Chain A
């Protein structure tokens, strides 16, 4: 029997050519959390963030929601951004929120690549996808 199970789902939308909007959900036997955040594509800066806690372990946990605002202004392109997020949002707020933000960050380039590839495929369905992605740069 499975004794612990966690799922993480990260989606990315492009409301315009300058912004990427992430929706991240983390569900496991213990915690249930969600993050929505907007990031400026050109420099990776977090412009807007909100979080929701569905399942948590202490009555103090929801106080981590306002702490999320300290992520605004931080860039997913900065050196050491993951440890900064874990330190500022994780330790001072909630580690599980930090985990979702970090996974959104991991999806930043793949989401851009995926968008560009699908747009390129619309123009040229016979495109060599492997080669296209090899030549792709952010």
Chain B
């Protein structure tokens, strides 16, 4: 069936020579075109720069998006980010699309750091070795425990662990 609406989103992370990460988040759909760019400083993951440009039919807060996004500069990617971003960029005077853009950009930074570890686990072909690898991760990171179905109490990956 022919689609009446189509949204395309891309987020990409690119390490820069000065050690920062540049994150480009872009959205295009039938009504909206949006681009949000952030620069993240390591190791504290501070958002150094943030720019936004919205086009076509502007959503709530779209007219002030390029000024509003500046509120996020100086914030660290870390605990409570969801609430911080919603508080700074959301609400009746905010711009919900910017909230989504920043949270997805931050998530992409986290996944940039996650990817190398997963490459390592792919080299484990023995199921026992793989399970032990996951169990080591679980034992050393309490935030992973019960975070999704793979790490719920009844998961085979949790067998024998008292977490």
* A contacts, CB < 8 Å to B: 1-15, 21, 23, 28-30, 57-61, 63-64, 67, 90-95, 103, 106-107, 110-111, 113-115, 117-118, 129-130, 133
* 8 Å CB contact of B30 from A2, A63, A91, A114: A114
With A13-B3, A93-B148, A114-B5 as contacts: A60 and B32 at CB distance below 8 Å: no
Contacts of A106 in B (CB 8 A): 100
What mask results when residues 6 to 25 of chain B are scored 1 for a CB within 8 Å of chain A, else 0? Answer: 11111111110000010000
Residues of chain B in range 80-107 having any CB-CB distance to chain A below 8 Å: 100, 104
* 8 Å CB contact of A114 from B2, B31, B134, B150: B31
Please name 17 further chain A to chain B contacts, defined as beta carbons within 8 Å, in addition to the given A4-B108, A61-B150, sorted by A numbering.
A3-B15, A3-B115, A5-B10, A6-B10, A7-B9, A11-B5, A12-B6, A28-B111, A57-B118, A60-B150, A91-B148, A92-B149, A93-B148, A110-B7, A110-B32, A117-B31, A130-B57
**A21 CA to B111 CA in the complex, in Å?**
30
Asked if B156 is at the interface of the complex by the 8 Å CB criterion, the answer is yes
Question: Smallest distance from the beta carbon of B38 to chain A beta carbons, Å?
Answer: 14
Interface centre among B13, B147, B148 (most CB of A within 10 A): B148
Contacts of A23 in B (CB 8 A): 3
* 8 Å CB contact of B31 from A63, A92, A110: A110
**A3 CA to B150 CA in the complex, in Å?**
25
CB pair A111–B5 under 8 Å, yes or no, is yes
CB pair B148–A4 under 8 Å, yes or no, is no
Question: Smallest distance from the beta carbon of A55 to chain B beta carbons, Å?
Answer: 11
**A81 CA to B108 CA in the complex, in Å?**
23
**A87 CA to B29 CA in the complex, in Å?**
28
CB pair B14–A107 under 8 Å, yes or no, is no
Contacts of B7 in A (CB 8 A): 8-11, 103, 107, 110
Contacts of B9 in A (CB 8 A): 7-9, 103
Question: Smallest distance from the beta carbon of A98 to chain B beta carbons, Å?
Answer: 9
* B contacts, CB < 8 Å to A: 1-15, 21, 29-32, 57, 100, 104, 108-109, 111-112, 114-115, 118, 121, 127, 130, 134, 146-150, 152, 155-157
Chain A: which residue is nearest B8 at the CB level? Answer: A9
Question: Smallest distance from the beta carbon of B82 to chain A beta carbons, Å?
Answer: 9
Contacts of A9 in B (CB 8 A): 6-9
Chain A: which residue is nearest B157 at the CB level? Answer: A60
Contacts of A118 in B (CB 8 A): 4, 30
Contacts of B149 in A (CB 8 A): 60-61, 63-64, 67, 92-94
